[in-house]
Structure 1
Amino acid sequence: MGIGAAVVVVSALAVAGIAVATLTASIKPTVDLGGAAQTELPIPEIGAIPGGVNLLLVGSDSGQGDPVYGERGEHLGDVTILLHIANDHSNATVVSFPRDLYVPIPECDASPGESAEGTDGGTDRLNTALSYGGLACTVKTVSALTGLEIPYAAVIEFNGVVAMSNAVGGVAVCVAERIEDEYTGTFLDPGEHVLEGMAALQFLRTRHGIATGSDTARISNQQVFLAALARTIKSDDTLTNPVRLYGLAKAAAENMTLSTSLNNVTTMISIAKALKDIPLDRVSFVQYPTYSEDGGLLPRDDDATVLMQAVAADQPVIAESTGAGSQSTGAPAQTETPAATDAPTPTDATTETTAPSADPSVPVALPPSISGQTAAEQTCSAGRTLDDQ
């Protein structure tokens, strides 16, 4: 069973660096001790990271041996999300990759610390890359799939989601139809619910209680949470509350495995400064386009090219509709899996695509097979009851 763990990492990374600066600024006046110890040293000024950023966020389902999550099998990366920040920091795109997407897995070295034995390569589900060669292998796999260089990456576990949702003080999510899931213990009536801790984790993990019950429907449900989280951090006092910021930074540090390139405060602060001023309507969450075949998912290559060309060109993107697990406020729930997930093969359903505009400020209208939303859009989870499962 997959998790939506990585959806909170985007905000965690953004505020972790800000927390350091905010807590430092909140320290009371110092006491003059006299002598050499009083010598004033220069304080470095850290600005936004120059240029664009590609950062891969992976949610592991290992459970870290915690018995509360029951017996876990392989160490799989059941959530894989790519965060792209434009070169001029005017927009950001967050691409979710389905766990059951069949892709070429490159040759990867063993990573004993991640219980990964290495692989000679081959074609397999994306979520197996973490078990084959750890975080580095997942980065190599996604980089080859997207054509993007990915210098930063992080892994988060179940307990990290619990800790960070607690630190932010909960996230208010909208539920359109009742969610009932015996597997995760998620039972939510229509309306607004403030979720934190284990309740937030289970909401992000639920699949059976969402629309079609597919992992791709779960991704769009996770985007409901992520967009709400982004609005929460922007609208309340999170960015100016030292205690809350410190809690997020501490939770991130204690519950995430970071790439060497990301494991320093200066880098985190500089990425945070690049993220913090992007308008909500220029932060887009989209799902990598796929089609079903023989029980698995394959890339919808032509539509994926439109998406990745837009990302590479630093253009904001707009999805035509939300996925099966969510709906726009006031709109009817989707009852069938959209073309992005259970569509026929490309030879049976061809989508017209257009190249991105030369003007990087013009949003690219994505093909219908690519679902998603912006952080500014109000959406609700499209649930289903036990009777429909």
Structure 2
Amino acid sequence: MARTLLFLSSNGVGLGHLTRQLAVATRLTAGFRPVFHTMATAAQLVRAAGFPVLFHQHHLAANLPPGPWNDMLGQELLALADRLDPAAIIVDSTAIFGGYVTLLQHWAHRPRLWLRRPMWQEGNRHFLDHAGLFSDVIEPGELAAELDQGPTTGHPALKVPPVLHISPHQRQPRTIARRLLSADDDRPLVALQLGHVFGSRTADLRHRLLAALERMTVQVVDIHSPLEPPGPDPGPCTQILYPSYALSTGFDALITPSGYNSFHESLLGAVPTLFLPQAGPGMDRQDLRALWAASRGLALTLEADAGEAGIADAVQQLLAPDFSQALAAAGLAEGWTNGAFDIARLLAQRVQE
């Protein structure tokens, strides 16, 4: 009988934590049954991937006080664990909620893994006090680690290579990707993928980016995830895709925030990228990632309030042949192995011990 593994993740409208867990779940060997409990509205994407999933709304989205909400979360997780009898619990979240603490304390006899990415802001330091609740703390690799001066630096953790849901070699060939993106071969294709990280500023930012690109001799694909409705009047370049990285071989340039997944996908996949770092309470240091890549000529970066002229100039630089050639020559993926395999192997070992 398959051993059940319980994956817990936070997020809200984002996909980062959940995508990393999917990277691990899809690389487990036979004999394991991943079950997901998430606060991400992306729950339907987990179900589409073939895994059972339970959605629990974050207290901010539910407009509930943290105390009662954590009590409910803890009771729900205890009931779920009693029913599933998980062989291990895997948490991917910066915040270790009180409800998580309740579950981890009651299930201290089973392996409990914390997938804790680096690049934290100082305000999240107190969550490290909960590290003792876990049997293992695993840190997904970070290309820009040398710039990280946040709370997790020096904190004990097993470090694995960067984790990707889709590895670069798993992407579609360029000709097929272009066809699926409805792109012709006569003009460069610029992909725009903003997600929800800019909140109420997203619509204005998208408008400025599209306005700048419309003045250029390029094709544009404005990518939305299935969780991000394009609005009542979507433009002709709007496409709903997940995971879009599978078609990134068809991009000549990409404009996206520098979150963990997008950053490592772009650089390891040699996609010429303009990073728009987002900053906010509780978020990772996207600015440091973008700075690291830009300082090495591996990407460009602009503030989200940049004007149309600056956007157009940056895209022109990305489309220059020497930029993509230099990025490919950097060979960041040479010798890289997907850390998701390391985590899957460790998880199997812990369950069998």
TM-score tier (shorter): under 0.3
| Higher relative contact order, structure no. (Cα contacts within 8 Å, ≥ 6 residues apart) | 1
Q: Greater strand share, 1 or 2?
A: 1
**If the length of structure 2 is used for normalisation, what is the TM-score?**
0.26
TM-score, with length taken from structure 1: 0.24
